Structure 1
């Protein structure tokens, strides 16, 4: 779908796609105001590109993974048929589900502010994905569970959940750079480990939010942030994800990864978050992933 958006843009504009992608704060890139009309038929519940105006593009030569946006990249028609996802393997289903969860929780977890309606939407969508992924663990072709997750994916990044609220996207900022360097790292696989480490990193800043999240999603009494994080660790392990990213990152210099994250998503000195990542903290965070 994202490739189709890039093609639709270039069909009506001059130059190369890399001239239109976001390059970081203060960096110039070409604007556009026209593209071919798009019809989206998603076959994987994950990115939500079927209901938004963005696309993620990877450049194998520069090993960069970045985004482009434009109102003309909104699909004119989207057909969401959960039957098209029945043959998606379990691992890819999990990766997509993690992406959905992070889409709706990223801004919830990256600010101390309470935006009640948006918070409740984020929690409800997370709970929906959790419940139905558990069903698919034992019944991968379950039509109702596939439908619930597919609809959650479409809503997650449609703008409804995050519009008008405060917060940042540090988890995606980090993962996009990682999978730009590591083209064998699935987006959801990278996000799973980042999500778990982010809960640890933020727990002293927003313990109440983390506890509230786990209480809602797991429907259990949670007494502190440590218990809340453990529930997520157990659930990710149940779905065979959230492990070390060492096999993907390998010998890539951690400082090089940190510099690229700051280039695309932060400032020369820090990455915005509820607990700001200064460069040294960002390096330590990346090391914790491996």
Structure 2
């Protein structure tokens, strides 16, 4: 197991009705910016609860944050916050809104070119404090310090990480997910599943506690995934999904582990090029990548197959069956592993993603840093 350090400053309030605590947990002198996406927070009751919780606070709202948060939209939110001297952000939504809020929190007090925040190309001295009210469990963004931001004019979808944008507070109320469309729930389950696998499915590394944390999250998602789709108001299933998605990227699973993240690198480019949902890109890339890297990943695939899917046989047999079981689970959640099912030509996708990876200098991917853009092209060609 590799050396590591761990720091997580986020206070988590979990359960029904926890939004009411916002009023006492946010300083009363704070000037609050409530940041959200579309109108769903007014349909699921979150907006009304936040209004009630913040009735003693000065607060203003900014809506319209996209499913893949756009730099241009976020800069309008930055200017809005500066104009009204707002100094505390409450992000209400899923990972995209929370990611966008992290950028806004960093950009409002930043003096230079805010685009350089993305990709960690400029130092940050400070950031506004941030609270997250989660309405779509998927990314774990409510209690980590990473964010992914898009810029359509330059065809970029890039990440940044900084401890300064770690949310101070996260409200996780499973009842807010009851009204979500099945597509978003299926996406959320797969997103959390792949986040866990990116940190776990590399090679045996004697990180036994982290391995079993990962396997527990994966087993939980397999158990409750179909229930979350078939019984939208099943509190226990939605609560376990919300917590599994949180823990997938909370920081513990990957401690001391070699991590992959090549699936995400390719998936981000597919989203930018073709507008495909983030989770759908992951469902396409991951099984194809595993088949391409079968020899290097066989030992961990076999462990995964035995412990998570209860498969039996020799390593090669179990590893191959584990890939198929994973693809079938994605299909059960409503996500295909084939580009063609989304009307995307595999050759166009493969060439486009390889070119984007080169442009973004993502030339060595994977746990061994030996996956090239040409390898990524070959992987996507097999996902036709």
TM-score, normalisation: structure 2: 0.68
Deviations 1:98-130 (A, max 9, x none): 111111111222344342111111111111111
Aligned match of 1:152 in 244, 257, 262? 244
For the residue of structure 1 that corresponds to 2:296, the secondary structure is coil
Aligned match of 2:233 in 138, 141, 163? 141
Return the alpha-carbon distance in structure 2 between the equivalents of residues 255 and 230 of structure 1: 26
Q: Which residue of 1 aligns with 2:329?
A: 235
Q: Which residue of 2 aligns with 1:25?
A: none
Distance 1:127 1:264, change over 3 A: farther
Return the alpha-carbon distance in structure 2 between the equivalents of residues 275 and 30 of structure 1: 25
The answer to whether the aligner puts 1:204 opposite 2:295 as a matched pair is yes
Deviations 1:218-263 (A, max 9, x none): 3343552222222222222222213322436447463332132244
Q: How does 1:38-57 map to 2 (within 5 A)?
A: 38-57=130-149
Deviates more, 1:122-131 or 1:273-282: 273-282
Deviates more, 1:214-223 or 1:226-235: 214-223
**Corresponding residue pairs, total:** 282
Which runs of 5 or more structure 2 residues have no equivalent in the other structure? 1-97
CA contact (8 A) 1:111 1:168 kept: no
The answer to whether the aligner puts 1:66 opposite 2:158 as a matched pair is yes
Return the alpha-carbon distance in structure 2 between the equivalents of residues 265 and 85 of structure 1: 38
The answer to whether the aligner puts 1:284 opposite 2:378 as a matched pair is yes
CA contact (8 A) 1:51 1:78 kept: yes
Distance 1:249 1:119, change over 3 A: same
Aligned match of 2:355 in 259, 262, 265? 259
For the residue of structure 2 that corresponds to 1:205, the secondary structure is helix
Return the alpha-carbon distance in structure 1 between the equivalents of residues 256 and 238 of structure 2: 29
CA contact (8 A) 2:192 2:248 kept: yes
Distance 1:15 1:180, change over 3 A: farther
Question: How far apart are 1:16 and its partner, in Å?
Answer: 4.0
Question: How far apart are 1:186 and its partner, in Å?
Answer: 0.5
Aligned match of 2:286 in 195, 198, 203? 195
Distance 1:209 1:111, change over 3 A: closer
Distance 1:265 1:81, change over 3 A: farther
Question: How far apart are 1:94 and its partner, in Å?
Answer: 1.1
CA contact (8 A) 1:2 1:56 kept: yes
Q: How does 1:62-211 map to 2 (within 5 A)?
A: 62-183=154-275, 185-211=276-302
For the residue of structure 1 that corresponds to 2:154, the secondary structure is coil
Q: Which residue of 2 aligns with 1:215?
A: 306
Q: Which residue of 1 aligns with 2:105?
A: 8
Return the alpha-carbon distance in structure 2 between the equivalents of residues 222 and 80 of structure 1: 41
Which runs of 5 or more structure 1 residues have no equivalent in the other structure? 23-27
The answer to whether the aligner puts 1:244 opposite 2:338 as a matched pair is yes
Question: How far apart are 1:169 and its partner, in Å?
Answer: 1.1
Question: How far apart are 1:265 and its partner, in Å?
Answer: 6.2
CA contact (8 A) 1:104 1:161 kept: yes
Deviates more, 1:134-143 or 1:90-99: 134-143
- Larger C-alpha radius of gyration, 1 or 2? 2
How large is the RMSD of aligned CA atoms in angstroms? 2.1
Return the alpha-carbon distance in structure 1 between the equivalents of residues 194 and 236 of structure 2: 22
Return the alpha-carbon distance in structure 2 between the equivalents of residues 173 and 244 of structure 1: 18
Question: How far apart are 1:166 and its partner, in Å?
Answer: 1.7
Return the alpha-carbon distance in structure 1 between the equivalents of residues 173 and 361 of structure 2: 34
Return the alpha-carbon distance in structure 2 between the equivalents of residues 165 and 230 of structure 1: 25
TM-score, normalisation: structure 1: 0.89
CA contact (8 A) 1:205 1:275 kept: no
